[in-house]
Structure 1
Amino acid sequence: MSVLSVSLSTSHSFAKSPTAYIYLLANQVSLVDASLFAKLAKPSSQGLPSFQLSPGSLGENITTSGIDLGALAEGTRLCFG
């Protein structure tokens, strides 16, 4: 697993901006796998629009690669650093 980006917002807005570092609070972290950006950028066979997204634009604090976040059990602890 690797961390591609960490993002924050100085206000309570949805999208966050990439930054050099963040401080994490328990139960206040959102993670997104970067592969989701590629999936949303592809045109849909159902005619749905595609989206060009970048790290932080989905409100996540941490953008990852190489880990199936959906397969993690509730309560899983990840170590970054």
Structure 2
Amino acid sequence: MSQTFTTKDVAEHKDEKSGLYIIIDSSVYDITNFLDEHPGGAKILKRMAGKNATKQFWKYHGKGVLEKYGDKLKVGDLAETAKL
């Protein structure tokens, strides 16, 4: 069963001790163990940890990247929030 996260929950996962989480579209990914595998280096992943990385992700990646890595990194979905 998939877990549901708020943006506040994700923001609490911005270092290796608590785990590095990012949001892409409406999904939440734990990238903690992906740092060494990322072709662009760990620095950019650490900079985006705890944030919505959707815009930056799609700027540099195609959907094939999520098809390849998404299932093993996804930890849940973003909770819908009311738009004011």
| Structure-1-length-normalised TM-score | 0.29
Structure (1/2) with the larger helix percentage: 2
The structure that has the greater radius of gyration is 1
| Structure-2-length-normalised TM-score | 0.29
